[in-house]
Amino acid sequence: MNPEGAFVLAAIFAAPTAVACALAEAIVPRRRVPLWLTAIATIATAVMLALVLGVGDTAELHHQSGVGGRGIFWFVIPPVSTLALRGLFPHQWTRLAVGTVISIAAVKLGAMLYARPDSFGILAGGATSCTVLWVATVLLLRAVRWTPSERGTDATGSMSALASVLPPADFTWPDFGPRLSAWFDASLSRRRGLGWWLGTALVLYLGIALVIGVGGLRGGLFVQNQVWAITEFFGIPNWELPATRLWWVFGLPWSLLVAGAAWGVAGVAGGFDPGRLRVVRLAAIVLGGLLLLWTAHIAWQIHTIWSAEEAAQGIH
């Protein structure tokens, strides 16, 4: 993969880890991190960093492909280190500075030790995804002046603090007529917004399939590039299928993930009451949004390359 593609792909795969970092900063636990947990998290972070950076066994890293082996620790280190930083540096600005420096240093060292041309892009993408969401969480909690309690659990909790800075859930739909408005609101409220999710996914799945079928979107090459990038990342064989057929296989999970972002945005905007599922709105928006951005990036690259080739060949 080129550095840009590796960066975007790694940022997407790191999204669940980034959400875990935000939760570790905000609600796990809701009180100050006790000394014993700080010690365990600090030691675990140091041991995992030593393993992934190849202390005493660098030769193995130079022959690794994909994420496998010790590379899986890259997904565990961020949330564990977040707990360690919370215990070691209660002051938020100090915690942000130290955490950012450690993140940059780990990426630099990892790129030097992993003998892959796309190592820096992969590590930087994952680190950026985790760091940005973690920093945003710290700043949001600081903005609402929420601080963890010394012991026990706050009645309000940090989730309420985070919710207070989100858009209010009093969104009212435009009135296109009493009957239409009533039907629209009722359908969106049914089953915790399931209609938003499945409806958007169906439109994306069939709509993009129709566009690809008539020759648009460069024949659906974007999905082929995404499938190849994922299989290469995990070191599994490629799917040797035309791009048009790959969409019918992989387009459904793609559509469901992107539709999840629409569901999350609609829930935040007050389009329906997500009930207990409100806790997964952030994860749905992050995962679906990053997948959509990655897809747009790949599609634009393909369009740019094809346009340049057509111009060179005099095709209009």
Q: Mean pLDDT over residues 136-147, rounded?
A: 81
So what's the pLDDT on residue 55?
A: 45
Q: Range with the lowest mean pLDDT among 33-42, 78-87, 101-110, 139-148?
A: 139-148
Q: What percent of the chain has pLDDT over 90?
A: 5
| 241 Cβ contact list (under 8 Å, min separation 6) | 249
Phi, psi (rounded to 5 degrees) for 111? -65, -30
36 versus 185: which is more confidently predicted?
Answer: 36
Kindly report whether the peptide bond that precedes residue 79 is cis, defined as omega within 30 degrees of 0: no
Question: For the segment 168-196, what is each residue's pLDDT rounded down to a tens digit?
Answer: 544 444 444 555 555 545 544 445 567 77
Residue type, 303: H
The interaxial angle of helices 15-26 and 119-143, nearest 10 deg, is: 30
Q: How many helices, marked H, and strands, marked E, lie in the chain?
A: 13, 0
Question: For the segment 220-259, what is each residue's pLDDT rounded down to a tens digit?
Answer: 788 888 888 877 776 677 667 777 777 888 888 899 999 9
Question: For the segment 42-53, what is each residue's pLDDT rounded down to a tens digit?
Answer: 888 888 887 777
| 283 Cβ contact list (under 8 Å, min separation 6) | 15, 16, 19, 264
- Tell me the C-alpha distance between 268 and 169, whole Å: 6
295 versus 186: which is more confidently predicted?
Answer: 295
